[in-house]
């Protein structure tokens, strides 16, 4: 299997009792396989909102 580099980017901010997070997985859309025969997902955007009580 060839060598690959995958770049992940995330930003989070505390909003009182909540935390918001915006992330991009595989920022440059690199095609690779973590396991033989199982290609990884392409670029993925995520938004998370967590609350603590």
20 vs 52: which has the higher pLDDT: 20
**pLDDT reported for residue 14:** 96
State the greatest distance between any 2 C-alpha atoms of the chain, in Å, as a whole number: 46
**pLDDT reported for residue 39:** 74
**pLDDT reported for residue 36:** 78
pLDDT tens sequence across 8-51: 899 999 999 999 999 998 877 777 777 777 777 788 899 999 99
The alpha-carbon radius of gyration of the chain (Å, integer) is 15
Distance CA 26, CA 46 (A): 11
**pLDDT reported for residue 3:** 73
Phi, psi angle pair for 35, to nearest 5°:
-130, 145
């Amino acid at each position: 299997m060839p060598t690959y580099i995958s770049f992940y980017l995330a930003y989070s901010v505390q909003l009182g009792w909540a935390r918001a997070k915006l992330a991009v997985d595989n920022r440059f859309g690199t095609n690779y396989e973590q396991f033989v025969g199982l290609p990884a997902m392409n670029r993925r955007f995520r938004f998370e909102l967590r609350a603590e009580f």
